[in-house]
Structure 1
Amino acid sequence: MRILLVNPAKRFKGFLGKTRSLQPTVLPNSLLYIGAVLEKGGHQVQIWDQQVDDRQPADFLRDFDPQLVGFSVSVGGIIYEAIDQSREFKRINPDIKIVWGNVHPSMLTEQTLAEDYVDFVAIGPGEYTLLELAEHLEKSQPPHLTDIKGLAFKENGQVVINPDRPFIKNLDELPDPSWHLVPMDDYWEKSLNTSRGCPSKCIFCYNPPFHKGQLGEFSADRIVGQMEILKGRYDVTLFRFFEDDFCHNRPRLHRFCQLVIDKKMKIRWDCDARAGLTEEDVRLMKQSGCASVGFGVESGSPRLLKFIRKTARLEDIKETFKLLVKYKILPKLYLISELPTETIEDFEATKQLIRELGNPPYQYVSFLPYPGTELYNYCVQRGLEPPKTTEEWAAFISQPDCGIKWGEVPREMTAEFKRKLVKYYFWRRTSFALRHGMFAFYLPVNMSPKEILRVIRFWWRYYVTRPLHG
């Protein structure tokens, strides 16, 4: 069967009229794993990653003629793109089958299937759900759609939601990602996704309702094996572990670091983690090439951290921050503005924490009420009118702060804070790195002309010219 997998993205006209992604381009890891499973099952697969590919539905219908098109639709403005392109595929070829997957349709399955341009929803991780759907459509195996776990569909005008698919805890059973289906040189940083789920239970996060408290991961040996493939095949020396908490499994983290050290791999890597890393953790991370770690602080207010059920305390955050600085690993903080119940005192506590930590690099994004989360339900109980259609969701999410004020902090205060972040983002990051001798993220791994050019290109595209939002 011919299957097209789509990663919707917003683009803008850049230098010399070229279109560019509104965000730094990262590998569409979920689609790469789905593509690998489908190819292993004997299907023809193409990936349309709109971060790096300007083609339109008519181009794929002419050149590939897909029979099934799968859209990865997370929560955000890209819902507009997914809607428009799904409609266009259906307009040109009404017989084509459209399946949506990822967070938004998994959380709002019935609402998504109410749209005439969506035939199926893959709930949760979609590798084997899409494989079985393709087998059913092509060979009637399994014989009934109701036999496919994790699938939702329409039958006689009614939405049918099948039982959940068993969660994959041992991700080593998956094939390597289908990197050959995307133009690898066009991505600013090569990322790997090595785990699913998160041990934290923050009430604002999509992870608990999406993964339902379950954890799955690749082994350290498999991670290093994939890095060796990327290094050998695509000359990758800088890796980004693109997941909520790369470090949650300490034995796996230590084995990973030791493998990289023992193999003398000339690489650098960065990740996201929770506060609470020990000195032994950080020492091994540094020795294995870790150059930067981001961790969710969310707020400098102990009261607000307790309200959103962050397990890390401010003391944990400060201690982890000091350890990263000591070992010259660049720390990045993730903060959330407009959290429900936030007071001016909470807001000032966040600003004070940033000053206390020496004005490190941070991101400050607006709170989004993700459907299915506990904080979303909290907002609904206090007056939030949920959008009634998929298109209304796209409009709702695209508004600054979703058009709703949930805390007590005047918008002028948060807006000014964000303006300063955008204005000084690059210089704050550079200044902090220079003050603390953190050059690892800016220097080539080796001194070959190709590697030097790669680092300059990366530095310019990511730290100087990229647009900032939120």
Structure 2
Amino acid sequence: MRILLVSRPHPEGARDPFTSLLPTGLGYLNAVLRENGFTSSLANLSTASWRQVEELLRRERPAILGISVFTHNRFESLRLAALAKKVDPTCLTIFGGPHATHAFESILVKYREVDGVILGEGEETFLDLARAVERGDRSLTGIVGLAYRKGAKVHSVKRPPVADLDVLPLPALHMNDAWGCDVRRQLEFIITSRGCPAACRFCSSPRFWGKSLRFRSPRAMVDEIRAIRDRYGLIYFSLRDDTFTVRKDRVIDFCRLLLEEKVHILWNCQSRVNAVDEEMLIWMRRAGCECVQYGVESGSEKILAYLGKQITPEQVRRAAKATRRAGISLSIYLISGVPGETDDDLQATLTLISNILPHDGHVAPLAYYPGTALFDEAVREGRVGADLFERERGAALYVRRDPFVARSMETLLRALTRVERKARFGPADFTAQREFLGYCHGTNLGQGEWLEAKGDIGKAEALYREIVERQPENPWGWLALGGLHGSRGDVTRAGKAFERAISLVPAHVPAYLALGDLRLEEGDQRGAKQLYETAKRLNPRDTDVGERLRMVVAERGTKKGDT
């Protein structure tokens, strides 16, 4: 019995670096199924044509097709289910994910091509489903956590959430054969907790995960990072918890383990401005955190209250100051197009941007999603229909569509661009960070890059050398030295630095590519090709590797023709 777990984004998100990835939840489902003896596999359909999708379904002939459904890809998911039924009418099509969870009744009532919907997190529910189907029971009845049709009615029983997240197997150990998936890019994103302490009116996360917050232990977090680093060569990670810093003791223990065990990664995370303090940020920076992304949304207290953010602009200012002082890049999310938002509210946000100096910012219009207080209120008040997501086909359904929204978005984006130069860390910042933090390889890397850009190669090299002298097992110092020497044409010293990085992280694809480029500069096409081929074996879907290999083959062919 074969099980196929898939995701296909809306066409607008097919090339997006985030929405084009497989949802992390599918990786966990796949790992649980495999470790319990089932033949399960993953497929990322973001770049596949519908003809290729049909060919995949005919080749795999899954008994169960699990489809991850978000609001943006709800119609693509329905088309997938219909296509699976066309290929094999006996295939069980099972939806899961946030949109499916919150809209399960309307999905099952209106779309016969969908057999069932997993509610909330799905590891235990999908495993029970697979066991039932393996026994020959395809009725879907009696499976806790699964919604299904019986006659004209929809039946469902919620399942309690997984109590101990550490018992779940690691997705990274079961992804080598994922179809259409750049595994290294996929595994950069890690989730270490489930749930959020907030209750923002525009977010469905609290209803999806339940009221309780559950956490993976620092030991499990570091073990996963080390496993991915050793197997796939990744040394940069993005921790995508809704609020990574909600438990200070866990964050500090995680950072302490990274430092004590000399894991030497760089990473970023998401948080709330009322869930960080200076001590925590110091630990994070020393352990390699280079960016924190905060959900700021607005500088207007009125708008923050409407959104249910439970934060104040003053808390934003304090968190931003502490983040910048620790030498961590400050990234913010903003929302425009909120009902009742005026030019005065917009000005409050512009003032806040000028005050906090974010290094990076993202702006999005306020949108409706099922499972949110915002959508429920709009339905109750008659502003939108309960069938909004079936009637409207847009990837996102915005709350406001008047000219103010476009104008405010453009104004906010311009403001973020204007402060970008002023927000960058400079000499005074780096000096203050060194006094505040002591030695920190992240500070050395940041200051070294700044000095390189200014042409002060000698001081930059000294900072990189300090890393490898203090931490000879830290690949980031060697990679920085390799890049610096390579940019100066010192191929020999650059090559030795990249070779050292490879000895520390043997599966680090960028180091092979950089070393291959150096060999090419020396005229060693054979050596370059061997290095590119190694990189290709490590990451078959890396387009940079493919381009380099084609270039080497073409160049060697040209030289043969010339002779």
**TM-score range normalised by the length of the shorter chain:** 0.7 to 0.9
Q: Which residue of 1 aligns with 2:287?
A: 288
Residues matched between the structures, number: 441
SS in 2 for 1:318: helix
Which of 222, 241, 244 aligns to 2:242? It is 244
1:8 pairs with 2:2: no
Which of 175, 182, 206 aligns to 1:208? It is 206
Deviation at 1:299, TM superposition (A): 0.7
Whether the aligned pair in 2 keeps the contact of 1:129 and 1:150 (CA below 8 Å) is: yes
Q: Which residue of 1 aligns with 2:342?
A: 343
Deviations 1:221-243 (A, max 9, x none): 00000001001000010011112
Q: 1:147 to 1:159 in 2, by over 3 A?
A: same
Q: Which residue of 2 aligns with 1:57?
A: 53
Amino acid at match of 2:266: R
Runs of 4+ off more than 6 Å: 441-444, 453-456
Q: 1:44 to 1:241 in 2, by over 3 A?
A: same
Q: 1:188 to 1:355 in 2, by over 3 A?
A: farther
Q: Which residue of 2 aligns with 1:96?
A: 91
Deviations 1:30-72 (A, max 9, x none): 1000001111221111111124666733222232111110111
Deviations 1:195-242 (A, max 9, x none): 111011112211122123121221010000000100100001001111
Q: 1:454 to 1:130 in 2, by over 3 A?
A: farther
Deviations 1:121-156 (A, max 9, x none): 000001111111111122047x96332111111112
Q: 1:225 to 1:67 in 2, by over 3 A?
A: same
SS in 1 for 2:249: helix
Identity across the alignment (%) = 27
1:197 pairs with 2:191: no
1:113 pairs with 2:104: no
Q: Which residue of 2 aligns with 1:149?
A: 144
Amino acid at match of 1:58: E
CA distance in 2, matches of 1:373, 1:28: 20
Amino acid at match of 2:268: D
Deviation at 1:92, TM superposition (A): 2.0
Q: Which residue of 2 aligns with 1:46?
A: 41
Which of 128, 133, 138 aligns to 1:132? It is 128
CA distance in 2, matches of 1:209, 1:135: 27
Greater gyration radius: 2
Deviations 1:312-370 (A, max 9, x none): 22222111111111121111101111122322211211111112223531111111122
Deviation at 1:97, TM superposition (A): 1.1
Q: 1:140 to 1:389 in 2, by over 3 A?
A: farther
Moved more, 46-55 or 373-382: 46-55
Cα root mean square deviation, aligned: 3.0
Q: 1:380 to 1:110 in 2, by over 3 A?
A: same
Amino acid at match of 2:211: G
CA distance in 1, matches of 2:40, 2:160: 24
Deviation at 1:453, TM superposition (A): 7.3
Q: Which has the higher contact order (CA 8 A, sep 6+)?
A: 1
SS in 2 for 1:300: coil
1:66-465 aligned at under 5 Å gives the runs 66-76=62-72, 78-114=73-109, 115-140=111-136, 145-161=140-156, 163-177=157-171, 178-182=174-178, 183-185=181-183, 187=185, 190-276=188-274, 277-358=276-357, 360-386=359-385, 388=387, 391-393=390-392, 395-398=393-396, 401=398, 404=401, 410-417=404-411, 420=414, 432-435=423-426, 440=446, 445=476, 446-447=478-479, 449=498, 450-451=509-510
Q: Could you tell me which runs of 5 or more consecutive residues in structure 2 were left unpaired when the two chains were aligned.
A: 431-442, 450-474, 480-496, 499-508, 518-542, 544-563
Q: Which residue of 2 aligns with 1:464?
A: none
Amino acid at match of 1:173: V
Whether the aligned pair in 1 keeps the contact of 2:5 and 2:42 (CA below 8 Å) is: yes
CA distance in 1, matches of 2:287, 2:281: 10
CA distance in 2, matches of 1:198, 1:415: 27
Q: Could you tell me which runs of 5 or more consecutive residues in structure 1 were left unpaired when the two chains were aligned.
A: 13-18, 462-470
Deviation at 1:301, TM superposition (A): 0.6
CA distance in 1, matches of 2:126, 2:379: 33
Amino acid at match of 1:234: Y
Deviation at 1:428, TM superposition (A): 6.4
Q: 1:119 to 1:442 in 2, by over 3 A?
A: farther
CA distance in 2, matches of 1:402, 1:184: 35
Q: 1:271 to 1:109 in 2, by over 3 A?
A: same
SS in 2 for 1:71: strand
Amino acid at match of 2:39: Q
Q: Which residue of 1 aligns with 2:547?
A: none
Q: Which residue of 2 aligns with 1:21?
A: 15
Whether the aligned pair in 1 keeps the contact of 2:42 and 2:175 (CA below 8 Å) is: no
CA distance in 2, matches of 1:381, 1:397: 23
| TM-score normalised to structure 2 length | 0.72
Whether the aligned pair in 2 keeps the contact of 1:74 and 1:104 (CA below 8 Å) is: yes
Q: Which residue of 2 aligns with 1:467?
A: none
